[in-house]
Amino acid sequence: GVGKTKQVKIKNTGADPLQITGFSSSNDVFQVINTTFPLVIGMNESQYVDIEFMPVEVPLQNGTITFEMDAAIAGDRQVEVAGAGVFLEPVVIGAGTEETYQVPLNAYYGYSFSQTLYLQEEIDMSGKTINRIGYQYAGPSASVDFLIEVWITHTSLTEISASVPLTGFTKVYDGPYVVLQEDDFSWVEIDPFFYNNNDNLIITIIEKKPGYTSSSDVFMATPVTTGNMCVAEWNDSAPYDPNALPAGSVVALRANTKLWFSGDIPTEPEAKTTPVSLYFGEVETSVTKTLTVEVMNAGGGILEITGATITNPAFTVINATFPVALPIGQKETFEIQFAPVEPGLEEGLLTFEMDESIPGSKTVDLSGRALRFGVLREGFEGETFPPLGWKVIDNNNDSKGWLRNTTSAPTGQTVPHTGVAAAGLHTYAGSPNQISYDDWLITPRMIWQDGDVFKFYIKRLANQAGQKWRICLSTSGTDVSDFTVIDEIVDPPRVYGEKLYDLSEYGLYDGDKFHIGIQFYSVWCWPGVVDDELGSVLDRYENDLMVMDFTGPDLLYQNASGNYEVKIANYGLSAVAPDAYQTQICAYINGIETVLASLPGQALDVSEIATVTIPLAMADEGVYDIYAKILWSEDMEPNNNFSDMIALDVIQASIVVKNLG
């Protein structure tokens, strides 16, 4: 009466679109679900389709799913499927009527964990495996979704006053947990855990979905009258690390819990491989990335894995020794490495080798996109903002604009897409109902190559209309006038969405150099954020110093010294020796560039940033437009060697200046 879903991947390896008009099943207990036909798959594209098994009896069932398409189309169109139904026997522990937001998880805080002890005499189920765990949601919402990990272990402990380290625990679930108001117990299906019926049991729940819902999202619980049986903790800062759980605090309640046990323990092995697909994301050539796959013996006996094969040499299994023998309920974690050589999409199929008669899942679809080495990848994780090589322009000169945002968000929202930071803006600049922002975030210069993309992730933080982002392209400089608008994003959703651009559609050819500018042009609001920008190879030189900032007083008395700070950086690909360059303060006097002060350069490693303090004294009164400058004969990009100007007023020492207001 309860279904289970598996995915099958259909790939079009031909040159024309593939149209699938429907399906047929040789056994009604197997059906294709969540799919609308006709299903059209483009050239070299793939589509995952859900196949549901809804058993009505215990014996092993077999069937064939046939995807319907033009008879002349070559390739596989059938999937052989099999599954067996099981009867589940429930055990309910706790019938209390108290409502709590503390256990098994705390919906009112961003993150939480709990550990609960259950005694053997409360369970008393011999020779069976736990297949599901459920709790009684008692809140007002029709449904609430969480993201949880579930860990279980046998124990001889009879009470717990602090958390038990998860060494020796088995992680049996990692994924969404949706609670429904209409359910008696809302449950998750876990990896089967064999209960020995001798020991007590500890179940750990780690809730790790960012944000929170409400203190009204409660669960039914039973008071603990003897001993300490439950500990928990919660916070709004970061998810709990399974490898370093804090002690937690004793909770005098246990959430009402329902455990579903399977029938008789199977005697033959069954393979369960998770996940069924691995996507490595974007990886630069000559760089490697490693992800993991778990194989579990979901049956009985001993599952022997004799090896593994992969159809694409860009993917390899590393640090594995075969054969691997897995008793009932045991898992083995395998490391899969992606080491691309050429740019482009890479796909492969990983197959774990074992006796052909063993049922279950044995394969993993592998994919990853290889990028050219040296591409722009910016997640704004470094504390320097704008990042080295980037530029921000406060075009309406209100001293508010782009910044690095880590935590500034309305209640219930989180800032980064990944990592700890994103690019955002000052909140509520200007006046209500007025255009209050004209601020630009500009990338370093890049070199376009056909097949490249420029992409990023964007979301609003507040439910406020009138927020506009203009995506702009420049093939010359980084002044606002150099850019052309190629897209306008108005009021994006409050969840991150990907924006992707093939810039060849906007006139770029192989070898063209370009910048992307993101202009935030909006009314008074709490601005949204952008994160994880990906572009083409950066146009960097072997030798390239740059001036990032120039600050200091705008008023000096004659012959009185003032200190000016110049922030400089090495944006080149090679380290710079001391005294190889000079940092200067200059001005044009009578049409001639004049050096007013100077310091010899200091050593700078690649990507190093330094702040230089230069004292300046002026003998002649007057108004000077002063600027900072780097003088280096070997600099291959002199255009970034100059700062913005400071209008400096030099006055007689006898004059008293007062600022009023």
DSSP 304-327: EE-EEEESSTTEEEES--S-EEE-
Neighbours of 504 (CB within 10 A): 16
Q: Report pLDDT for 657.
A: 60
H/E segment holding residue 562 = strand 562-570
Boundaries of CATH 2.60.120.200 in the chain?
A: 375-538
Spatial neighbors of 500 by CB under 8 A, at least 6 apart, are: 453, 454, 455
| Averaged pLDDT for residues 624-633 | 97
Cβ proximity of 521 and 435 under 8 Å: yes
Q: Which amino acid is at 328?
A: I
Q: Is 652 exposed, middle or buried (0-12, 13-18, 19+ CB in 10 A)?
A: exposed
* Residues 286-308, mean pLDDT to the nearest whole number: 93
197: left (phi over 0), alpha (psi -120 to 50) or beta: left
Q: Which range has the worst mean pLDDT, 211-220, 303-312, 606-615?
A: 211-220
Q: Which two tokens stand for residue 384?
A: 């320097």
For residues 389, 390, 396, 401, the Cα torsion angle rounded to the nearest 10 degrees is -130
Distance, in Å, from the CA atom of 172 to the CA atom of 150, rounded to the nearest integer, reads: 6
How sure is the predictor about 656, in pLDDT bands with cuts at 50, 70 and 90? low
Say what percent of the chain tops pLDDT 90.
76
Residue 208 pLDDT exceeds 60: yes
In the predicted structure, residue 1 carries a pLDDT above the cut 60: no
- pLDDT category at 71 given cuts 50, 70, 90 is confident
pLDDT at 42: 84
Query: Are β-strands 646-651 and 555-557 bridged in parallel, bridged antiparallel, or unpaired?
Result: parallel
Residues 448-477, mean pLDDT to the nearest whole number: 94
Mean pLDDT lowest for which of 88-92, 282-286, 290-294? Answer: 282-286
Q: pLDDT at position 187, please? A: 93
Output the CATH code of domain 375-538: 2.60.120.200
Q: Is the CB of residue 517 less than 8 Å from the CB of residue 610?
A: no
> Which of helix, strand or coil describes residue 120?
helix
454-459 vs 529-538, strand pairing mode: antiparallel
Q: How many residues does the chain have?
A: 661
DSSP state of 604: B
pLDDT tens profile 635-654 = 998 989 999 999 999 999 86
- Banded pLDDT at 105 (limits 50, 70, 90): very high
Q: Which residues contact 448 (CB under 8 A, 6 or more apart)?
A: 503, 504, 508, 509, 510, 511, 512, 513, 514, 536
* 275-289 pLDDT per residue, tens: 889 999 889 888 899
Predicted confidence band at 661 (pLDDT cuts at 50, 70, 90)? Answer: low
Closest CA to 410 of 459, 355, 477: 459
Closest by Cα among 16, 69, 72 to 42:
16
pLDDT at 58: 62
pLDDT, mean over the chain: 92
Return d(Cα 95, Cα 223) in angstroms, integer: 10
Domain 272-372 carries which CATH code?
A: 2.60.40.10
Tens digits of residue pLDDT in 379-394: 999 999 999 999 999 9
Give the residue among 568, 512, 517 at the shortest CA–CA distance from 544: 568
Tens-digit pLDDT profile for residues 570-596: 999 999 999 999 999 999 999 999 999
Backbone angles phi, psi at 535, to 5 degrees: -140, -150
3-state secondary structure of 461: coil
pLDDT at 5: 84
Cα distances from 419 to residues 391, 414, 456, in angstroms, run: 22, 11, 14
Instruction: Kindly report whether the peptide bond that precedes residue 323 is cis, defined as omega within 30 degrees of 0.
Output: yes
Class for the domain spanning 545-651: mainly beta
Q: Quick one: pLDDT at residue 372? A: 86
CATH architecture of 89-261: Sandwich (2.60)
SS3 86: coil
Q: In whole angstroms, give the CA distance from residue 164 to residue 169.
A: 10
Q: What integer pLDDT is reported at residue 255 of this predicted model?
A: 98
47, two tokens: 């589509």
Q: Please tell me the predicted confidence (pLDDT) of residue 62.
A: 84
Determine the pLDDT at residue 59.
Answer: 66
> Is it true that the peptide bond before 386 is cis, omega within 30 degrees of 0?
yes
Give the model's confidence band at 147: pLDDT under 50 very low, under 70 low, under 90 confident, else very high.
very high
Strand partners, 202: 117, 153
Model pLDDT, residue 120: 97
Eight-class DSSP state of 482? G
Instruction: Copy the structure tokens of residue 508.
Output: 């770029």
Where exactly does CATH 2.60.40.10 map onto the chain? 1-85, 272-372, 545-651
Which pLDDT score, from 0 to 100, does residue 72 have? 82
What is residue 413's predicted lDDT score, i.e. its pLDDT?
Answer: 83
Q: What is the pLDDT of residue 564?
A: 98
The angle at the Cα of 124, spanning 118 to 130, to the nearest 5 degrees, equals 70
Residues in a beta bridge with 614: 564
pLDDT at 605: 94
Residue 300 pLDDT greater than 90, yes or no: no
Superfamily of domain 1-85: Immunoglobulins (2.60.40.10)
CA 534/CA 378 separation, integer angstroms: 7
* Digit-coded pLDDT (tens) for 344-364: 889 999 999 999 999 989 999
The pLDDT value recorded for residue 660 is: 64
- One-letter amino acid for residue 488 of the chain: E
Q: Residue 431 above 90 pLDDT? A: no
pLDDT band for position 603 (cuts 50, 70, 90) = very high
